[in-house]
Chain A
């Protein structure tokens, strides 16, 4: 029994799968739409679950922005929806914290991790590397259902009497460890931890599949450096997830023990309601280390896929090869590697040794180098390009704009000295929302508008898409730009009300403005949701195989590819994915052999 036989058997097995599904396999509704093992269907499951979560998470932000923008007003309709959480039409302070916590958790994990990399890694990896499906379609299916289970538990936590977790999305103990500390630290916190543990299993199963598929399942000729940049981005994202999520799992398990078994991992010397707790010897800072060892790579888990998508969409729609392909790959790698070495910059003011802090400052600022390389490469890809302003392209350009704006404030925050003033203010809220939240969403929108024809065989409505883009772009800047000023003035985040606070009274009007714009931006997202679901059934049909004239492999499949992706043989690849505007031709697909007198790139 030789190793070659195992490998050989697997390859022919995967090969046959394509034919088998064409002829003998009768799919029922359950196997096609529910317990599907087709990576394309699983991607759509991730996407639609993510969209539902995005609506919920976005709505939460609108609710707490109402409180922040109009602290004196009451909204009686809120009581109709939320009952005791909004007595007399005013949000309960405890529920305000719950909303902020859930907004962060939902958007960071359920939307921008599962919704973004879950959707596009699943959808694009087999299509772009030239595989019938993921390495293990079964584990891939399990991955989604763990995400679904995590969603159910998190959703359930919204409906328990004491409310969902409310200690912030970072759930720092001791607040999160002690049920007596706040109503959100009761059963809601346990459900949060259980949900996140399920979520981590989803991320692990998904990540293992993405890594092995990219490494093992590439079609003939698809060397690593011929892959589109999306593939590199998803690959590094998966590596980050596989290596950083388990550390959060450890942190969550220890926190569960502290909450339910009386251990003292994070607890020491605590007096609560006049009662001295027996816990001794634990360290609350330890949790922060465990949390941010995931937490920092997590922001790159969000942004790397968006970078990959933006690179691909920009190159296709500039009709130019991506500028500096190897530099793009190298900077992705550098960002991925550095992301593991900077977590303590979230902890500069939590009692971290300032001497140790200086190393984290250095490593943090180093990330600016690969980030800048990427930005310059995007700009030079656009430079003198034959740009088509499709909705996807607009969002890709918007992504770069957001990434620059948010990245620059990151340089402020990476300094441990400046951080003393800026930490926990609206400056940091503005920074991470622009560079991670909005940029991540822009990457997702770019991908959705661009690959929608491949996903559903129809186009989304362009007019609605343009309205969506401009409202979102302008609105996002109007929401978050003013927050920088508030933060520089010292206005702290996570506060329920500022009206009684002399120093920040002057921002009352500005807060109202921000809240007003956020409602408009939220409405624009509903426009997108409508466009998305409407177009699935009624959108303009795709009639050509390759509507964008893209060189990558996914456009060589049928308009509505079945399970197995290619009806016949998987095509062989002869060149990289970026032969645009070459030798007088608009583009040359990857499947075309290199001609005799073709120029080198």
Chain B
């Protein structure tokens, strides 16, 4: 250990050791995350391109204003804020799990991994509720001079501009790209959360089986943590692009 730290920095790249002083596994994870960032980047840029080619777009304050058990109360972005809070909080618990891993405290790792898994599952549950609410919640739309009831799906968007019809305000069909991108991208992110939860469950099982304790370090937890933080970070951008802008 002392020889490693005594190496002058100029020799970092001369072979026989890792120039970044990280294991190959972590390096791989970083490059994977870079790759995955390009996948999400492509999705979000596509979304931006299409969205700004449209004259109108759905108003997020209008679309996302429901909350479970609150009936028809108008609570713009309240539920998605809760979801975001849950996901970010699960990042905090992940940090704590990694921290306990550094201290070689198996019980601590287990405890915080459980909380992280619960946070991930809670987020997925929230997303399931939100999707169901959007797809099944029907809204009146003026189509070809008649009122129809539409849910928000990949082929229908009831959130277009409102017009006056028979003395009351009625929405017209909005750009159908909205549903496609919303369900496509949040779904792809949800799939990442799901795989993150699966990874964390595997980590939990291995921790309980003392795999890492016997190995002498908890680096796997760190790698799972990198993935988990990345998924959270992506959510911040998804949140920004679909709910705030």
Chain A positions within 8 Å of B, measured between CB atoms, are 1-11, 129-130, 135-136, 139, 204, 207-209, 211-213, 215-224, 226, 242-247, 249-251, 253-254, 257, 261-265, 278-283, 286, 289-290, 293, 572-573
Contact = CB atoms under 8 A, between A and B. Distances in A.
B38 A243 contact: yes
B155 A262 contact: yes
A508 B141 CA distance: 60
B32 A4 contact: no
A264 B177 contact: yes
Nearest to A130: B15
Contact of A253 (B54, B102, B188): B188
Nearest to A279: B176
A264 B183 CA distance: 12
Interface stretch (B125-133, B212-220, B233-241): B212-220
B225 to A, nearest CB: 15
Contact of B50 (A262, A279, A283): A283
B20 A250 contact: no
8 contacts: A6-B23, A7-B23, A129-B15, A247-B39, A254-B43, A265-B184, A279-B176, A281-B177
Contacts of B5: 4
Contacts of B38: 243-244, 246-247
Contact of B31 (A8, A211, A247): A211
A281 B17 CA distance: 53
B217 A223 contact: no
A264 B181 CA distance: 9
B15 A286 contact: no
B217 A1 contact: yes
A286 B216 contact: no
Contacts of A281: 50, 53-54, 175-177
Contacts of A2: 1
Contacts of B137: none
B25 interface: yes
A514 B24 CA distance: 50
A221 B154 contact: no
B36 interface: yes
Contacts of A135: 24-25, 27-28
A253 B184 CA distance: 9
B130 to A, nearest CB: 19
Interface string B139-181: 0000000000000001100000000000000000001110111
Contacts, number: 166
Given A208-B28, A218-B15, 7 more contacts: A1-B102, A6-B23, A211-B27, A242-B32, A254-B46, A254-B184, A265-B50
A223 B46 contact: no
B49 A246 contact: no
A141 to B, nearest CB: 15
B46 A265 contact: yes
Interface in B86-120: 101-104
B68 interface: no
A216 B25 CA distance: 10
Contacts of B218: 1
Contacts of A264: 155, 176-177, 180
A8 B104 CA distance: 18
Given A218-B15, A281-B176, A242 B35 contact: yes
A219 B15 CA distance: 5
B155 A257 contact: no
**Most-contacted residue by chain B among A209, A216, A262 (CB, 10 A):** A216
A5 B212 CA distance: 14
Given A10-B23, A218-B16, A257-B180, A278 B46 contact: no
A9 B24 contact: no
Nearest to A249: B39
